[in-house]
Amino acid sequence: MQRTAKWLRAIAALAGFALVPAFVPAQAQAAGTRPFSVTITHVGCVDPCSAEGLEAALEGHPDFYAKVFINGVEHRTPTIDNVSGIDPYWVVSTELPDTIQNVPVTIQIWDADDTSGDDLGDDTPHDDDNNLDFTVSYTDGKWRDTAINKTDNVNWPQSCSSGDSDAGSDEDEPAVKVCWDVSTTSTSGDADGDGLLDGWERNGYNEDGDGTIDVDLPAMGAKADHKDVFLELDWEAGRAPSRAAIQAMKKAFAAAPPNAGASAASRQADNGGSGVNAPPNPDGTSGINLHVDTGGLLDPAGREGGPVGTCSDGIDNGADGLIDGNDPTCNRRLTDYLDASVENPQPTNCGDGVNNDGDAFTDDQDPDCLVGDNLGGGGAIPAPGACGLDSAFYASRDLRFQKNRRLIFHYGQISVLPGVATCPDRIGGEGEIGGNDFTVFNRDAGTIMHELGHNLNLRHGGFQDDPNCKPNYVSIMNYDLQRGIPRVGGGTILDYSPPRRTVDGTSRGQNPLPDLKENALTEPTILDAADPNNRIVFVDSTGQKVPNNLNTSPNWNRDVDPPFEPTVPPTNIDDAGPGPVRRPSACINTSTDETLKGSDDWTFVSLPFRQFGDSANAAINPENDDVPTTSELLAMDEEQNTTDVGVTVTDNPDPVAAGTDVVYTTVVTNHGFKPAAAVTLVDTLPSQVSYISDDAACHPSGATVTCGVGDLLPGASRTVTITAHVPADLVYNASGPVTLTNRATVDNLAGPDPVADNDTATTSTTVVAVADLAVTSFGVTAPPTQVLIGQTLDVTLHGTVANNGPSSPMDAVVVTAATADPGATVTPSSSTRNIPALAVGTPQSLDSTFTVGCAQPGSHTYRFTASVTPGRPDDTDPVAANNHRPAEFTLDCVVPVAINIQPGSNPNSVNIPADTVPVGVLTTRAGEYALPLAFNATTIQPLTVRFGPRNVVYGGTGGSTEVHNRGHIQDVVERTMTPVERVRDGDLDMMLHFASAPSGLQRGDTEACAKGSFIDGATGRTYRFFGCDAVRVVQP
């Protein structure tokens, strides 16, 4: 049976009185008073009343009104004509002294008659009484029988009373039924304006008025001082909603602005019902509590104590380099919502039997594990087979939806749309515009909240049904945004207009957005300079659907901006997308001269819905447009997010030295004409290098570095630098230079990329060995001071070489070059030493031996230089200054001479200490006595000569000196080859005399030597000489 007629009669009668005043904010109360109100929710005939009984003959149905006496003061309601039963929701209110704790109330129901006087109905079961009397406690808002007359037997929670008619005394009038509610918190009866009376939210709702609460609203979380919306969802198998979907809806409502519903009465439904204004929440907070009854439906991915909404916290929760809308776990189409989804969720623990979060609830009893709220309804249903809000839907609804919820809950189903043979119109859902029923064939939260928005008296154009797809209407009621409002940086949120800037709703965009005239478009046009977070969608002059930041100018004609055009040719900016299948079909139009007006949703939502009417088997004012299906929404999403993103990568330096860092500079560019909302860069480093750092909060994992590039507007670029370290031994181990290949790949997670060729770029880098090789020390080991001409000495040079890096190890070659003054010799002239694997921190030492001699008397310098160079041809040393280190020493080249001790004697006996030993230093020719040089003994400086053992006089300062302090030039007897023959050779020699005692000679010595200086006659220089002769030491 249809109830539509009764609802519409009530609506028509009450327009302008009952509904609007019933939900206006309470008047400011006077000092010492507090509010009190009685709401008459139902009046109807019990006894026959059509032209009989309460109503006079031929006068149709009664014309009802009520008189309500509060604390003895009469209040009268308006009259509703010619109805046998009405649900008027008359509100009678007053302010009472705050000293009154118990308030007496009397309710009378009257029929207004123009000719015969008004008739009183009997609304109390008490015999001989037509007045319903009860007393209300201010403490809890509950009522009881009045203290004067307790026989009415009306006590809370009973909220309906019927008269006893003529069953008793003849004093009773025709019986009527009255139902009511009482508020001790507001004069409106509904302090927060959500359509749920204060008494219902405070103490529970009694559907049939008997003595039992049917809907325990307080237990369900309702509050009389904060707006509540209740929704029950049922679903066909396989179509259950997700927790993220329900939580996204709840978050959107929780963030509703303080003025939500404030102007709802200004918008009228097509059936004549108007919205109902709502005041700000009396508790002083903003938001609407949306309660979504999904019964005990468990979230298969739920987690006790798990975080909610980590897709908008600005944290890289998965430590993968991707944050919030740039993370693939936060931007799955029709699945994730920034304020409700969990970034990189942990495995579920909702079935482990453990109270993981310490809240006294475990698994399916823990709200964290539930998809929505478990309010006793909501669950799986058999396939309804409905094509929309048709008879099949209502038949299915009546099987599941409890009648006592009809004034409390919105009701929605999620089901599969039957085939085209049954349902030719392929739609994603349908909802009543101003009402309480909707059905969706899509599973996404955007469609669910879209249809719920229709129940709240919202339309596809906001305040109007058409046009749809307006760029300046940023709401999920707009088909272009039904799947969610796109956010700068990737991901979506669900919201009505104006959308949230911050996900908690503390900041919202401009409301409404400026008008757009299709034949008077200009550039630049900034729709909301203060909103850098949300995007609009428009159609450009080429017919493409284009998202655009609210705080940047749309490029209406898709040219290069700037420069901007002050005048743009007329453009159909609210059309459907391009072919071959144009979506959404409801937006197809050809106009280029429309004026598109922005619209405010939240201020005009009507939370009460009973004024719009109800029907048992048909929708009241269903929407007319075909709602996009899931496949259409996905196609629209792809279309709006298709853009060409490309990448280039360069290296520096190239070549790079092993042991140093290489920097890869990657430039990601949006080459398309649509924003790239969630760009990700994956850089695959060469396997030989190790990651060091980056400048974009990337995440390294082995050789893979993942970077969330984020949002790129058309033509925009972003540069990411990644630094990697090249191993110091890479080139050495490879026996030569190595080529590294770095690969960068870019992806737009929000949509397809039509040009794949520029999605990947590589760069090759040559690695060479570069090390600062150094000779760190070099010198002669125990350098000699003198050598006899004609003899040679071996000299050892000791050095160390080191590798100061960065490449290590490195084969090295050390070459030592040798030179000597004229008249001196050194061999070889150079030596080469290979140093394999010279490593940083491990210097190596090397010795080299050279033979030195001389052919001329006097001091001669011998010079050596050690030089180190890389051993391999491709290796280099960048620092030349420390590759060489010199060393030198100076020798006194001593002239060997022949001396004759005890000339004329054989053997040459020396008596120690008695003897004064004569020593003749002979003048000789070169070659004489096998001597290399000629020597003129007469040039000897006698006082410089010392006599004694070889080791005393050659290398030291010992021995004895000339006893006469002078020498004697004479032709000394010389020993020839025949020992017994003594001769004088006719040249002048030098005879010197030495005391034997201080000479240092000892028994057993067989040789005595003399060393001293002489003046070279040719040069005038002083040189040293040295000679020895055999002796026999005699010592007493």
How does DSSP assign 849-898, residue by residue?
Answer: EEEEEESSSEEEEEEEEEEEEESSTT-B-S--TTSEEEEEEEEEEEEE--
Helix, coil or strand: residue 693: strand
Burial string for 727-751 (b: 16+ CB within 10 Å, else e) reads bbbbbbeeeebbebebbbbbbbbbb
* Confidence (pLDDT) at 13: 40
Residues in the chain: 1036
* Contact yes or no for 582/544 (Cβ under 8 A): no
**Alpha-carbon span 36 to 189, nearest angstrom:** 8
Q: Letter for the amino acid at 324?
A: D
pLDDT in tens, 208-261: 999 999 999 999 999 999 999 999 999 999 999 999 999 999 999 999 999 999
| Residue 372: both structure tokens together | 């929505």
| Residue 472: both structure tokens together | 């300046």
Calculate the dihedral angle through the C-alpha atoms of 166, 169, 173, 174, rounding to the nearest 10 degrees. -10
Query: Is residue 895 over pLDDT 80?
Result: yes
Q: Which residues pair with 832 in a beta bridge?
A: 815
Question: Percent of the chain, pLDDT > 70?
Answer: 95
DSSP characters for 960-1023? Answer: EEBTTSS-EEE---EE-SSTT-EE--SS-EEEEEEESGGG---TT--EEEEEEEEE-TTT--EE
**Alpha-carbon span 509 to 532, nearest angstrom:** 9
Quick one: DSSP state of residue 135? E
Average pLDDT score over residue span 281-309: 94
Task: For the chain, list the domains and their CATH numbers.
Answer: 4-203 (2.60.40.150), 643-768 (2.60.40.1530), 771-890 (2.60.40.10), 897-1034 (2.60.40)
Query: Is residue 512 over pLDDT 60?
Result: yes
Q: How far is CA 88 from the centre of its chain?
A: 55
- pLDDT tier for residue 151 given thresholds of 50, 70 and 90: low
Neighbour count for residue 470 (Cβ, 10 Å): 29
Using alpha carbons only, give the angle 904, 905, 906 rounded to the nearest 5 degrees: 130
**Alpha-carbon span 12 to 273, nearest angstrom:** 8
Q: Which residues pair with 43 in a beta bridge?
A: 86, 178
Sign of the torsion angle spanned by Cα atoms 801, 806, 809, 814: negative
Calculate the dihedral angle through the C-alpha atoms of 455, 457, 459, 463, rounding to the nearest 10 degrees. -170
Query: Is residue 141 over pLDDT 90?
Result: yes
Q: Are strands 228-236 and 289-293 parallel, antiparallel or unpaired?
A: parallel
* Confidence (pLDDT) at 912: 92
pTM over 0.85: no
Query: Is residue 621 over pLDDT 50?
Result: yes
- pLDDT tier for residue 979 given thresholds of 50, 70 and 90: low
Task: Report how far apart the first and last C-alpha atoms of the chain are (Å, whole number).
Answer: 160
Query: Is residue 168 over pLDDT 60?
Result: no
* Confidence (pLDDT) at 12: 39
**Alpha-carbon span 679 to 675, nearest angstrom:** 10
Please provide the average confidence, as pLDDT, over all residues in the chain: 93
Sign of the torsion angle spanned by Cα atoms 724, 728, 733, 735: positive
Radius of gyration for the alpha carbons in the chain, expressed in angstroms and rounded? 56
* Confidence (pLDDT) at 24: 37
* Contact yes or no for 134/143 (Cβ under 8 A): yes
Give the orientation angle of helix 243-254 with respect to helix 445-455, to 10 degrees: 40
**Alpha-carbon span 199 to 186, nearest angstrom:** 10
* Among 353, 436, 451, 433, residue whose Cα is nearest residue 401: 436
Q: How far is CA 414 from the centre of its chain?
A: 34
* Contact yes or no for 243/445 (Cβ under 8 A): no
- Residue 142 buriedness (CB in 10 A; 0-12 / 13-18 / 19+): middle
Using alpha carbons only, give the angle 980, 983, 987 rounded to the nearest 5 degrees: 150
pLDDT in tens, 684-730: 999 999 999 999 999 999 999 999 999 999 999 999 999 999 999 99
* Confidence (pLDDT) at 704: 98
Alpha-helical (H) ranges within 191-344 are: 198-203, 243-254
- pLDDT tier for residue 404 given thresholds of 50, 70 and 90: very high
SS3 content of the chain, % helix, strand, coil (to 5): 10, 35, 55
